[in-house]
Amino acid sequence: MIPVLALAGAIWGIGALMGVPARARWPMLGLLYVAVLGLQVALPAGHPLREATGGSAAPWLILGGAAGLVLVYARWIRALRARVPPPAPAAAAAGSGGRPALGEAELERYARHIMLREIGGAGQRRLAAARVLVIGAGGLGSPALMYLAAAGVGTIGVIDDDVVEASNLQRQVIHAEARIGMPKVFSAELAMKALNPHVAVRPYRRRLTAEIAGELFADYDLVIDGSDSLATRRVANAACVARGLPLLSAAIAQWEGQVSLFHPAAGGPCYACVFPEDPAPGLVPTCAEAGVAGPLPGVIGAMLALEAVKWIAGAGTPLAGRMLIHDALHGETRTIALKRRPGCPVCGG
């Protein structure tokens, strides 16, 4: 095979020196390959010319198959690049949102997104430039954070003041046995960076309060509330309304979960419009008090991430003004309409 490969190298090199374009040199190598393969098939075993060109067709077929795979991969990458619009000249160095343009590794990583016409290259660039804050790194936050990182959301903040406990591991899949006792935000950061090193993670080990919410939310484009505290939900809602931010909110209990997008700035209701008062003490037990099916937070948390991807990429119909309710025990999902409440003290109705 060595003489044939040397001849192929000579053809390529001499062609380059003579200024022959690559698109003309490739057919010449193709003809050489076909000629050698033909000799291996036509000549009897042991023939000197057949022996000089490898002695068997098998290695040439393997070489041809490998070259074909490389060419197919190269064409696939070029097709993905063609679907990603180039950045504006002023932003070419930094990319959209001050972030580097998508590299080859990221094009391959997000290929299944880019192939979706509802997302495409433009949507993936918007995901890369997006800043999403997730409240809670527990049952709902775990899958939401993992899928946001996998989807390529450029900056992901996570705020939680809790630590990983053994009882969390039945449903909080972002954590691990080895990280029991570690603050949840740092455990989540490790898992997200291990999944996708291309995203930036901002952990905040504290409880969300009205005193810090306004300043914190100013750094983000979308807030996801996966907390298990009614007080925290009201703080998040008030801060989002004040800043005109969309709030994706979810809740779970035993076998049932719900998801909605609250965004009064876009004409929809806020959380306080739908839930003007807290339920009576003991009426809505926590997961610790009533239990929860392990996979349920995964289902609802993944829905949170999906709605976030849709919102950022501008794909489909968001859950604004609607609430999706999933009954896992009976395998039923329904959607109900939500309306703004006249005189709402938070958004004004």
Q: What is the DSSP letter of 84?
A: S
- The predicted pLDDT at position 82 comes to 59
200 shares its domain with 69: no
- The predicted pLDDT at position 131 comes to 97
d(CA 1, CA 291): 68
249 shares its domain with 313: yes
59 shares its domain with 125: no
Return the CATH number at 204: 3.40.50.720
259 shares its domain with 123: yes
The boundaries of the domain holding residue 36 are 2-82
Question: Bridge partners of 41?
Answer: none
Q: Is residue 101 part of a domain?
A: no
130 shares its domain with 77: no
134 shares its domain with 77: no
Tell me phi and psi for residue 47, to 5 degrees: -60, 135
251 shares its domain with 124: yes
Question: Which segments of the chain have a pLDDT < 50?
Answer: 87-98
Per-residue CA distances from 276 to 241, 270, 272, 340, 344 (Å): 15, 10, 5, 11, 8
Q: Is residue 154 part of a domain?
A: yes
Q: Is residue 262 part of a domain?
A: yes
- Give residues with Cβ within 8 angstroms of 88, minimum separation 6: none
Look at the chain and report how many structural domains it folds into: 2
d(CA 10, CA 19): 14
- The predicted pLDDT at position 284 comes to 66
For β-strands 332-337 and 222-225, DSSP reports them as unpaired
How big is the chain, counted in residues? Answer: 349
Token digits of residue 127: 């995901």
Entry pTM: 0.74
154 shares its domain with 32: no
d(CA 180, CA 169): 9
Which of 82, 103, 135 lies at the terminal end of a domain, its last residue?
82
143 shares its domain with 36: no
145 shares its domain with 294: yes
Which of 64, 82, 100 lies at the terminal end of a domain, its last residue?
82
133 shares its domain with 70: no
- The predicted pLDDT at position 213 comes to 96
255 shares its domain with 156: yes
- The predicted pLDDT at position 80 comes to 64
